[in-house]
Structure 1
Amino acid sequence: MSYAGPDFEPPQPRRSRRGPLTVALAALVPGALLGWLVYETVGGPGDGDATGRATAGAASPTPAPTADGKQPDPSPAPTGSRTSAPAASGPLKGKVVVIDPGHNPENFWHPSEINRKVDIGTNWKECDTTGTSTNDGYPEAEFTLDVAHRMRALLEGQGATVKLTQDGDRPYGPCVDERARIGNEAKADAVVSIHADGSGAGNRGFHVILPGTVRAGAADTRAIVGPSRDLGERVAGRFVAVTGSAPSDYVGDGTGLVTRKDLGGLNLSTVPKVFIECGNMRDSKDAALLTSGAWRQKAARGISEGIVSFLRG
């Protein structure tokens, strides 16, 4: 995960338990993911999340060119201002969505700033991290911005007012406490933080991270645990349906859902918020998806449809 700290014990990688266990998992998996169980019995692609981030101060990776010398983004997303104008109409008119693109492409050049500790309620953690990358050098921070831009266009089309916590428009960060504050001050109806994991090769599958119940210092998640779970289950369900990707085979026991109490972006939120790790950048099969512009469009649509479902009840 993007913000693993010393108090977090990363789960041990596990082998996918598919086939006969598919039926057994039906009793554990939220309703939103039952569609995956049918898909799983006939086979299909998967994705992932855990630890393994690049260290601050390393040279900033650049996307590896394809055989014809082009960068691996066949359909680049639109860019623009951080906050959209209120829509004139649409089913989400009056709703505010905050998209939090994980990390920042410039974090590599600001190690002292991003290593500064900030209060996340339960303890103190680094302001931000550099994020991970594929083995060919496609950075997580570029992935998250691209997906965020695609989501913004889709959600604005539904009438939502959309705000990004960062749009490649600042030298580093923001810090995890500020990321939470942006959503809180916007009085967001939903916040989703976009990430991709840097786990070991062979680990695949996406997962959605939910806030645990925390009441310590400036953190009090009691009011948002329930609605955040609802948001997370809907995002996970639509992500499966649209991308065809599997829930993680190394965290979450096949549900695609993980609860954590060590993430400042969740601990300090006062509005419904989840993280999604869209795939494991260190696995070659997942990396092939994450570096595909067409697949990133599917990812953006799946996440956005989950948000729309949550906001419309």
Structure 2
Amino acid sequence: MPPELQKQIKLASRPHGKPEKKDFQYDEIPVSEPEDKQVLLKTVYLSVDPYMRGRMSAAKSYVEPFKVGEPIEGGVVSKVVKSNSSLFTEGDFVIGMLPWQEYSIVNEKEVRKVDPSIAPLSSYLSILGMTGLTAYFGLLDIGKPKEGETVVISGAAGAVGSAAGQIAKIKGAYVVGIAGSDEKVEYLTGKLGFDKAINYRKSGNIREALKEACPNGIDIYFENVGGEIGDAALSLLNKFARVPVCGAISAYNNTEADIGHRVQTNLIKSSALMKGYVVNDYADRFKEGASQLGKWVSEGKLTYEETITEGFENVPDAFLGLFDGSNLGKQLVKVSEEE
């Protein structure tokens, strides 16, 4: 039986610069009973993602900001503990965009079933979920890699970057990853099969390091980071290069406008395509993407890492760690046991 009260995490204040613990507020709220066509869910895994930093600001974006004093929400895998829906039975596992709390009441249309016998539950929030799909569509639909081309991935040891680099290898590309530690560099080249990897913290001159790692220039630059790393990569683009712009985490905590390299001349000289996107642009193709990602995983062509923090009380710490680069692969929080 669920308890009478549960913990919830709200946005206490809009961060100025990098978020801090004080920007999060813990609360206790009642656990309600589901009404007709509703289910009561117990949170099992909860996802924390860099894009959430944007939603903590009031600035207009592609998704509505979080509201101060209300719960933060994100991708969650949950277990059905009570059901008043013909679509779900007790014990089913589901995924949806849900609030940061231990239990949730949702309409039956707000979540979909996932099968732990096909893949681990956590993978539906990582390689088979938003992050895997983000890499899949950004690289293949915008990047369109060809055999023998040079692909550079920034944020390459993160959940999206590591998947994008492996997909590029599957397509026969020469792949160079950029990451922030020697351990991550070793992971990229040793485990994931990247051809080269650069520790940008030790590279000195990132443009020269990239130039050396990419003797044939850059055909695809998969952008997760922005800043000086992005400036350097854009200066090395080949003719008809493609630049999928997935993220710019280097600027997410800036308190002033991010001013740097002007891209127009580079794009004109290289006749390059630079296109921003969000994964929901491809919502009508999610089934296609998830099916192909699952096939590659089952064939051993695509592997993934997850950094799993235990305990609901540690959700803010897991989120803040994203901006220190402490996670390898997808950062998740395990809130309760699967059984």
Q: TM-score, normalised by structure 1?
A: 0.28
Q: Does 1 or 2 have the higher relative contact order (CA < 8 Å, sep 6+)?
A: 1
Higher gyration radius (CA): 2
- Higher share in strand: 2
